[in-house]
Chain A
Amino acid sequence: MTPAQKIIVTCTVNGERRVFNTFPMARLIDILREDASLTGTKEGCGEGECGACSILFNDELVNSCLVPAAHAEGARITTIEGVARGDQLAAIQEAFLEYGGAQCGICTPGMILAAIYLLRKSPNPTEAEIRVGLAGNLCRCTGYSKIFDSVLAACRKSGVL
């Protein structure tokens, strides 16, 4: 079987223009982790269930394990590496630190992006709304309570989300 023709995909990742030469059905998660060496996005299941691979894709939360390269042409992508501004952590990241939202940390990048997406759409969510907003991000360590606490705390903080 002959391999497919590679394609050029031009997109913006964390504000930087990136050009990838890749197969059309390569998974965005692999392009980010391997071609762009942005290993902050994690693979927990490969089937869109765990959300560890969550990123912002044209301002929407998506599972990067389910996005083919061909869809990334012209896309605006934010990964966990694009959340902090240099050494300055985003409010949600600080909240995760202070309120115990991260234990083993493997779900954390996806969880933080999901929280950011939620708070952009709903700056003062109820706990029920937080639960729904994070329902696609599985955590095995925390039992979720301190993740809710972290999100609620981030709401109270002013500044960069």
Chain B
Amino acid sequence: MIHLYRCLLHLYPAAYRHEFAGEMALVFLESERVVRRECLATRIVFCARELSGLLSGALREQTRTLVGFYDCVPFGRFDMRPEFRFPRSTVFLMSVILAAVVVAIAKATSIELKYGATLETVWPSLPWFLALMLGLVCLTVVIGWGILFAMRRTGMHRLANLQNGHEQR
């Protein structure tokens, strides 16, 4: 486990690794030694927590190294809070989506069998269609991110003003 952890530490920028990797591995070892005595479920939760923490931490630090700061990426908004629980409807909605995907695949297979010969004419336009879809998705993501960023900026500005007022007093 520690070998995997040490390998994953290479996802962090070199400077960060140089400063904290030894310490992080030591703390991980101590935590793992305690968790080793627990049941399988606890160990799985521990591994999942460590893995997600390590990956999100590496992403943050890499972003900070590339951009100079990571306030431009509203990670905090998407951090999973310990008290967060998925609503019960999520299981139902995900089941519906899965069923829809299975039905769509079955339908597509039957269409292919029925009109297989005529589909040849559709293939040349498919790459363009996929490229267009990709472009639209990227545009939507950029707009969504812009809105989130703007909302966060507004909040931060207000809080910063509040804080400055506090300090001046």
User: Is chain B a partner of chain A in the same complex?
Assistant: no
- Give me the interface of A with B, judged by CB distance under 8 Å: none
